[in-house]
Amino acid sequence: MTAVHIRQAWPDDAPAVAGVHVRSCRVAFAGLVPQHYLDTMDPSREASEWRAHIAESRWPSSGVPVAETEAGIVGFTGFDPAPDTPGTAEIGMLYAMPEVWGTGIGKQLMPATSRAFGQADYRQAALWVLADNERARRFYEAAG
Where does the pLDDT of residue 2 fall: very low under 50, low under 70, confident under 90, or very high at 90 and above?
A: confident
Per the prediction, the chain carries an average pLDDT of 93
Per-residue pLDDT, 144:
77
pLDDT of residue 1 exceeding 80, the answer is no
Determine the CATH number of domain 5-143. Answer: 3.40.630.30
Q: Are 112 and 6 in contact (CB under 8 A)?
A: yes
pLDDT digits (tens, 9 = 90+) for 63-75: 999 999 999 999 9
Percent of the chain residues topping a pLDDT of 90: 82
What's the whole-number mean pLDDT along residues 52-67? 92
Per-residue pLDDT, 97:
97
State pTM to two decimals: 0.92
Which H or E element spans position 118? Answer: helix 105-119
What's the whole-number mean pLDDT along residues 87-112? 93
pLDDT of residue 44 exceeding 60, the answer is yes
